Amino acid sequence: MPSQKDKKDNHLQLTIRSTAGPWQTSFNPHNKVRVVLERGIDHFKLDPSPSSPYKVVREATGDALALDQTLGDYGITDGETILIQATRPTDG
Whole-number pLDDT of residue 67: 96
Give me the mean pLDDT over the 87-91 stretch: 63
Q: How far apart (Å, rounded) are the C-alpha atoms in residues 16 and 25?
A: 8
Length of the chain: 92
pTM: 0.84
Indicate the domain borders of the chain. 4-86
pLDDT of residue 5: 47
Amino acid occupying residue 63: D
- Taking the domain 4-86, which CATH number applies? 3.10.20.90
Model confidence band, residue 73 (pLDDT cutoffs 50, 70, 90): very high
Model confidence band, residue 87 (pLDDT cutoffs 50, 70, 90): confident
Q: Confidence class of residue 48 from pLDDT cuts 50, 70 and 90?
A: confident
* Three-class secondary structure of residue 26 per DSSP: strand
31 contacts: CB under 8 Å, gap ≥ 6: 70, 71
